[in-house]
């Protein structure tokens, strides 16, 4: 997990960008201000509970020029990503998503032994492993040492570095260019957006394709998903904003798909701009849809704050009512997004006795800021709480199905977003 440095080191690394990370314009307009929050992946050990914990501003802005929704760089990225507690392989539905994607893209691009697939932020190799049985050469790029080690052990060539134009040039100098570049949930985490996209364009073969998945800003706004905002997540992307970035780097969006992952994502297909080629109709359709939702107008962004405050009040009203009735509440999951929700709403052990997670890396640790203990999933069977607050709400169907036996002692689930809702498993599975 993230190790905290001394205060002076923290201060010297505090780098606040003055301008928009896409177009450079001065940032003046607020999207939502979630106050001060700790780094959402900096889980705490028992020893650390007696020590001071750094909190950083979590204030999201919108660029008046290109409408990119973004967080200033309050924390140096090297500081965040070196040791990352998130192992992709611990989410069953995400592993399945990766497998389906690999078989689709392998056929669509006719990838073979002479191809090269590069994945940016390749995590523990959960995705690239699916190309190995077909003899397709792969390179993973993963700056977090601990997860990269797991990928290397699976036999996946992995470079423990941040991706940008410099690394792209070094790979090309080795005589290697990519037929396919995969960047799943990485673009939002990139502090220097233009350097990253320039590197991606440089590394592509002339007819190569890059696919990028990222949570869709339209869904964040529609469903009040403010908890997907955290310090590691610098940009909140619409297709309109991605389109603006593409044209600056000689890239073109040639296709786009809407996906159910992470609360609603886009998969964008990028290629180098070639005269005469026409993007699929999906691109114009989705751009038109975003304009219908008002994503081309500043007012749509500046009204988000009121909506987030309403979501917070509804969740707190439910939890206060349940605690007044003497009910016991536990959490399910300890994802990064859960920590934004807990800190912004002020939900600590006074509401939630403990939370559980399938990732053993987090067991015996505490959630940042709120210090809620994290235990193995079996702890729920022993404690038999009345309510279980599902923090990774994007996986709620999977979790409710896996945990439906809690109905045996009458437990119900609480889904916090977009509006606090109670789900009784007896009504679903009886
Ligand atoms: Zn801008």
Q: What percentage of the chain reaches a pLDDT higher than 90?
A: 80
* Across 31-35, 276-280, 324-328, least confident range: 276-280
CA gap 138, 94 in Å, rounded: 20
Residue with the two structure tokens 């210090």: 371
In angstroms, what is the C-alpha Rg of the chain? 22
Q: Which residue has the tokens 């536990």?
A: 330
Average pLDDT on 133-148 reads 93
Instruction: Report the SS3 class of residue 22.
Output: coil
The pLDDT of residue 9 is above 50: no
| Residue 349 Cα to ligand 1 middle (Å) | 40
- Number of Cβ within a 10 Å radius of residue 235: 23
Whether 312 has a pLDDT exceeding 70, the answer reads yes
How many whole angstroms from its chain centre is CA 71? Answer: 14
If you measure from the C-alpha of residue 30 to the centroid of ligand 1, how many angstroms do you get, rounded to a whole number?
A: 13
More confident residue, 4 or 138: 138
Higher pLDDT, 144 or 34: 34
Question: What pLDDT, on a 0 to 100 scale, did the predictor assign at position 306?
Answer: 94
- In this predicted model, what pLDDT tens digit does every residue of 44-85 receive, in sequence order? 999 999 999 999 999 999 999 999 999 988 877 666 654 555
pLDDT for position 90: 63
Measured in angstroms, how far is the CA atom of residue 240 from the centroid of ligand 1? Answer: 12
Q: What is the pLDDT of residue 53?
A: 95
Backbone angles phi, psi at 330, to 5 degrees: -125, 170
- Alpha carbon of 301 to ligand 1 centroid (Å): 14
Residue 76 main-chain phi, psi, to 5 deg: -65, 130
* Ligand 1 geometric centre to CA of 253 (Å): 19
Helix axes 165-173, 193-203, angle to 10 degrees: 20
Q: What does pTM read for this prediction? A: 0.86
Beta-strand relationship, 251-259 and 117-120: unpaired
Residue 21 CA to ligand 1 centre (angstroms): 7
Q: Ligand 1 centre and the CA of 290: distance in Å?
A: 17
Sign of the alpha-carbon torsion through 385, 370, 3, 13: positive
Residue 385 zone, left/alpha/beta (φ > 0; ψ -120 to 50; rest): beta
Render pLDDT for 363-385 as a digit per residue (tens, 0 to 9): 999 999 999 999 999 999 999 99
Among 295, 242, 270, 260, CA closest to 178 = 270
Q: Vertex 241, ends 83 and 121: CA angle to 5°? A: 20
Short-list 87, 413, 95, CA closest to 261: 95
> In angstroms, rounded to a whole number, what is the distance separating the alpha carbons of residues 75 and 16?
8
Q: Which alpha helices (DSSP H) does 56-213 contain, by range?
A: 77-81, 92-108, 145-153, 165-173, 193-203
The tens digit of pLDDT for each residue in 98-112 reads 999 999 999 999 999
C-alpha of residue 25 to centroid of ligand 1, in Å: 5
Helix, strand, coil shares of the chain as percentages rounded to 5? Answer: 40, 20, 40
Compute the mean pLDDT over every residue in the chain, rounded to the nearest whole number: 91
Cβ burial of 417 (10 Å; 0-12, 13-18, 19+) is: buried
pLDDT of residue 73: 80
Given this model, what pLDDT does residue 11 score?
34
Q: What is the pLDDT of residue 114?
A: 97
pLDDT band at 87 (very low <50, low <70, confident <90, very high): low
**Residues in a beta bridge with 259:** 265
Range 335-345 average pLDDT: 93
The span from the CA of 180 to the CA of 284, in Å, is 23
Distance CA 230, CA 38 (A): 9
Rounded Cα–Cα distance for residues 265 and 94 (Å): 13
Q: Please give the average per-residue pLDDT across 189-199, as a whole number.
A: 94
Q: What's the 354 CA to ligand 1 centre distance in angstroms?
A: 41
Ligand 1 centre to CA of 265 (Å) is 21
> Dihedrals φ, ψ of 396, to 5°?
-60, -40
pLDDT band for 2, please (50, 70, 90 cuts): very low
Mean pLDDT to the nearest integer, 171-198: 95
For residue 27, pLDDT beyond 50: yes
Q: How far, in Å, from the CA of 62 to the mean position of ligand 1? A: 8
Distance 26 CA to ligand 1 centre (A): 8
Ligand 1 center to 63 CA (angstroms): 5
Q: Would you state the pLDDT for residue 81?
A: 53
pLDDT digits (tens, 9 = 90+) for 121-130: 999 999 999 9
CA of 39 to the centre of ligand 1 (A): 25
Compute the average pLDDT of residues 186-209: 95
Secondary structure letter of residue 373 according to DSSP: B
């Amino acid at each position: 997990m993230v190790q905290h440095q001394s205060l002076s080191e923290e201060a010297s690394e505090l780098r606040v960008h003055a301008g928009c990370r896409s177009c450079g314009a001065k940032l003046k307009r607020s999207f939502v201000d979630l106050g001060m929050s700790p780094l959402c992946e900096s889980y705490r050990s028992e020893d650390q509970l007696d020590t001071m914990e750094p909190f950083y501003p979590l204030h999201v802005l919108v660029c008046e020029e290109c409408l990119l929704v973004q967080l200033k760089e309050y924390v140096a990225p090297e500081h965040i990503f070196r040791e990352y507690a998130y192992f992709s392989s611990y989410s069953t539905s995400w592993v399945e998503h990766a497998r389906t994607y690999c078989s689709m893209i392998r056929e669509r691009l006719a990838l073979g032994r002479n191809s090269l697939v590069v994945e940016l932020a390749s995590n523990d190799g959960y995705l690239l492993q699916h190309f190995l049985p077909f003899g397709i050469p792969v390179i993973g790029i993963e700056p977090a040492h601990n997860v990269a080690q797991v990928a290397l052990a699976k036999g996946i060539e992995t470079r423990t570095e941040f991706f940008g134009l410099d690394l792209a040039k070094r790979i090309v100098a080795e005589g290697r260019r990519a037929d396919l570049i995969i960047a799943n949930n990485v673009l939002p985490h990139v502090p220097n957006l233009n350097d990253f996209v320039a590197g991606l364009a440089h590394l592509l073969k002339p007819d190569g394709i890059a696919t990028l998945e990222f949570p869709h800003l339209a869904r964040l706004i529609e469903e009040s998903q403010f908890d997907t905002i955290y310090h590691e997540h610098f940009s909140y992307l619409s297709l309109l904003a991605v389109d603006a970035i593409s044209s600056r780097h000689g890239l073109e969006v040639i296709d786009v798909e809407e996906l159910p992952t992470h609360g609603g994502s886009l998969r964008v297909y990028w290629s180098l701009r070639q005269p005469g080629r026409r993007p699929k109709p999906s691109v114009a359709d989705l751009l038109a849809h975003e304009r219908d939702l008002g994503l081309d107008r500043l007012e749509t962004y500046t009204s988000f704050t009121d909506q987030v405050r309403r979501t917070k009040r509804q969740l707190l009203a439910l939890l206060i009512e349940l605690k007044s009735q003497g009910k016991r509440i536990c959490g399910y999951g300890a994802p990064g997004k859960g920590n934004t929700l807990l800190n912004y709403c002020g939900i600590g052990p006074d509401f939630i006795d403990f939370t559980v997670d399938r990732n053993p890396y987090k067991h015996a640790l505490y959630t940042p800021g709120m210090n809620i203990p994290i235990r193995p999933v079996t702890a729920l069977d022993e404690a038999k709480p009345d309510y279980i607050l599902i923090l990774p709400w994007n996986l709620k169907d999977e979790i409710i199905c896996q945990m439906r036996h809690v109905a045996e002692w009458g437990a119900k689930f609480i889904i916090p977003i977009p509006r606090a809702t109670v789900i009784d498993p007896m009504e679903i599975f009886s």
